[in-house]
């Protein structure tokens, strides 16, 4: 039996019942990673020894946690004690953190096994994982295509059966978009739902950690473990965390479901548009009321995001100065050392965003750019709040197109347009989940985004679970790797 094909929930049940050893599962993953990762390149650092010794320790113990034997990959901007954490950047190439992120602590406290650190766009800035300072990751469905980003390594690891699930981070769509490109489920929780202690900051008013997994159920289980108050993150909400598995398959409500009107869909890929129409028919067929909605200020969500996120990034990334940790470039004087270190350590997209943020915050431009974006953000949030008084969920495509080819998008703005459907939820702080909703004619996965009110992950999971069962995409997933390999062998 190939353990890598087991879903997380199934594997955990087998380990907890003593039917399978965590060690056997980890060994199975390590050998699968060895055979496919030279092509997919999902991992920056593999934690083979750490995972095996952890598995042996779990096998030897009678009490086993809620995630015993779950093989989980961690995006490499989430820090792990004693395990190199690079953020996909030269500036942190040899950085070994002295503590664990809260989410890592919580996973390990429930006996999840960290298998490695996944590739990302440098400092999570990008939508293709091509901005990694080390190498690009490839999409397991088609190795000539990107896995999306910035959590591209996490999505590719899950889709390529190199991990049962993974953690990513989502600032403007960085969990949802790669989840869509790789045919996995990915959740951006409500702002404040999950502690960010130990997540390397990109844009602090937007960043959230979220899970990627092969099913809604697996995502719900992981969210139950990582969510909740943390005294070390003052932006983490002090609200109880329900068991998201509770009543997952039991959705009896008669809900109203919002769909975007045509104005918000112009210019998107025709296959994405037709799959979105099919979802509308499915929803109507299930007896739910379909409500067409227009979001006039949604149109400016992207420019608004691309002012706010770089502004916050320019401030957050000021800490990389070569003094206390990370790369240091040689210089005779301190001021020169700062400049030389940052110049050598940051890649082009990171520099572009720092400069853009510096511009938007600079004297003479602050009011016209940053302050105006902050007001636009307020209008977008108000519009979404008003929408949730009319409907229970809003459904959109996750991305305007399926996975594109490596090197295809050279123009920064063309890359930024990837976030078209995802940034509004980030700006408004509401949760969003992407679930696979079909394949293109070329056999590439498409994603459906489901948005709900803040802190309503419980209902969001239930509704997404219902859709997942009706879309029946899950069954297509296990052939993924052979597809990738076959292509490469030709």
Q: 234 vs 475, which CB is nearer to another protein? A: 234
Active-site residue 75, yes or no?
Answer: yes
| Residue 296 buriedness (CB in 10 A; 0-12 / 13-18 / 19+) | exposed
Considering the rule CB under 8 A, would residue 191 count as an interface residue with another protein? yes
Asked if 119 contacts 42 with a C-beta cutoff of 8 angstroms, the reply is yes
* DSSP for residue 332: S
Could you give the string, one character per residue 215-244, with x where binding to another protein holds by CB under 8 A and - elsewhere? --------------x-x--xx-xxx-----
Rounded Cα distance, 29 and 360, in Å: 46
234 classed as catalytic: no
**Preceding peptide of 150 cis, ω within 30°:** yes
Smallest separation, CB 187 to another protein (Å): 16
Per-residue contact string for residues 306-345; x = within reach of another protein by CB under 8 A: xx------x---x--xxxxxxxx--xxxx-xxxxx-xx--
DSSP 288: P
Give the residue among 203, 217, 279 at the shortest CA–CA distance from 450.
Answer: 279
Residues 459-478, one symbol each (x = binds another protein by CB under 8 A, - = not), give: --------------------
Among 35, 362, 442, 470, binds another protein (CB under 8 A): 362
90 binds another protein (CB under 8 A): no
DSSP β-bridge partners for residue 75: 118
Token pair, residue 428, equals 């408004």
C-alpha pair distances (Å), 277 with each of 17, 273, 388, 411: 44, 6, 21, 30
Nearer CB in complex with another protein: 322/436: 322
Per the annotation, the verdict on 174 as an active-site residue is yes
338, 298 in Cβ contact below 8 A? no
**Residue 371 in the binding site for another protein (CB under 8 A):** yes
Task: Give the nearest distance from C-beta 415 to another protein in angstroms.
Answer: 11
Among 38, 254, 413, 475, binds another protein (CB under 8 A): 413
Q: Is 419 in the site for another protein (CB under 8 A)?
A: no
Which residues lie closer than 8 Å to 386 by C-beta, 6 or more apart? none
Give the CA radius of gyration of the chain: 21
Min dist CB 271 to another protein, Å, is 26
394 scored as a contact of another protein (CB under 8 A) = no
Cα 59 from Cα 461, distance rounded (Å): 31
The residue among 142 and 230 lying less far from another protein, judged by its C-beta, is: 230
Binding residues for another protein, rule CB under 8 A, total: 74
Q: Does 487 bind another protein (CB under 8 A)?
A: no
Going from the C-alpha of 58 to that of each of 107, 110, 221, 281, 425, the distances in angstroms are: 13, 10, 19, 47, 39
Residue selected from 50, 256, 352, 485 as contacting another protein according to rule CB under 8 A: 352
Residue 43 near another protein by CB under 8 A? no
Beta bridge partners, 188, equal 432
Q: Which of 127, 128, 132, 150 is catalytic?
A: 150
- Report the residue number, 134 or 325, with the smaller CB distance to another protein: 325
- Kindly tell me which of 29 and 202 has the beta carbon lying closer to another protein: 202
Choice among 28, 132, 154, 174 that is catalytic: 174
DSSP annotation of 171 reads S
Binders in 95-124 for another protein, by CB under 8 A: 95-96, 98-99
Task: Out of 376, 435, 466, 477, name the contact with another protein by CB under 8 A.
Answer: 376
Q: Which of residues 435-454 bind another protein (CB under 8 A)?
A: 454
Query: CA-to-CA distance for 90 and 133, rounded, in angstroms?
Result: 6
Q: In what helix (H) or strand (E) does residue 297 lie, and over which residues does it extend?
A: none
**Catalytic residue numbers, as ranges:** 75, 150, 174
């Amino acid at each position: 039996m190939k353990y890598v094909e087991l879903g997380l929930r199934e594997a955990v049940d087998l380990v907890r019942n003593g039917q399978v050893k965590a060690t056997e599962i980890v060994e199975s993953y390590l050998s699968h990673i060895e055979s496919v990762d030279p092509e997919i390149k999902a991992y920056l650092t593999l934690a083979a020894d750490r995972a095996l010794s952890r598995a042996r320790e779990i096998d030897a113990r009678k009490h086993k946690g809620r995630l015993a034997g779950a093989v989980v990959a961690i995006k490499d901007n989430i820090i792990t004690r004693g395990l190199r954490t690079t953020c996909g950047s030269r500036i942190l190439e040899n950085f070994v953190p002295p503590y664990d992120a809260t989410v890592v602590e919580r996973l390990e406290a429930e006996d999840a096994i960290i298998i490695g650190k996944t590739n990302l766009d440098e400092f999570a800035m990008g939508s293709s994982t091509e901005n990694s300072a080390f190498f690009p990751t490839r999409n397991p469905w088609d190795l000539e295509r990107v896995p999306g980003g910035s959590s591209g390594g996490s999505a590719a690891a899950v889709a390529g059966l190199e991990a049962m699930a993974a953690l990513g981070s989502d600032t403007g769509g960085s969990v949802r978009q790669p989840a869509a490109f790789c045919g996995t489920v990915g959740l951006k929780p409500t702002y404040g739902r999950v502690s960010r202690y130990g997540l390397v900051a990109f844009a602090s008013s937007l960043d959230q950690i979220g899970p990627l997994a092969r099913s809604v159920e697996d995502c719900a289980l992981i969210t139950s473990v990582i969510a909740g108050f943390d005294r070390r993150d003052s932006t983490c909400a002090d609200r109880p965390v329900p068991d998201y598995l509770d009543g997952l398959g039991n959705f009896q409500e008669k809900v109203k479901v919002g769909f975007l009107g045509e104005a918000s869909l112009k210019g998107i890929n025709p296959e994405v548009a037709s799959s979105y129409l099919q979802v509308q028919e499915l929803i109507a067929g299930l007896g739910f009321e379909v409500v067409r909605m227009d979001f006039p200020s949604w149109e400016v969500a992207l420019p608004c995001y691309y002012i706010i996120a770089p502004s916050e990034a320019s401030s957050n990334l000021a800490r990389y100065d070569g003094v206390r940790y990370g790369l240091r470039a040689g210089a005779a004087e301190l001021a020169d050392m700062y400049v030389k270190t940052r110049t050598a350590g940051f890649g082009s997209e990171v520099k572009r965003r720092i400069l853009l943020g510096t511009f938007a915050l600079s004297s003479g431009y602050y009011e016209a750019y940053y302050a105006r974006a902050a007001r636009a953000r307020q209008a977008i949030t108000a519009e979404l709040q008003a929408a949730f008084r009319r409907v229970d969920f809003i459904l959109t495509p996750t991305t305007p197109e399926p996975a594109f080819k490596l090197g295809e998008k050279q123009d920064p703005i063309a890359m930024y347009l990837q976030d078209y459907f995802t940034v509004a939820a980030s700006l408004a702080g509401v949760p969003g989940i992407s679930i696979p909703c079909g394949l293109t004619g070329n056999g590439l996965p498409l994603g459906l985004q489901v948005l709900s009110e803040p802190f309503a992950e419980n209902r969001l999971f239930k509704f997404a679970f219902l859709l997942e069962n009706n879309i029946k995409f899950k069954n297509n997933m296990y052939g993924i790797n052979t597809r990738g390999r076959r292509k490469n062998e030709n």
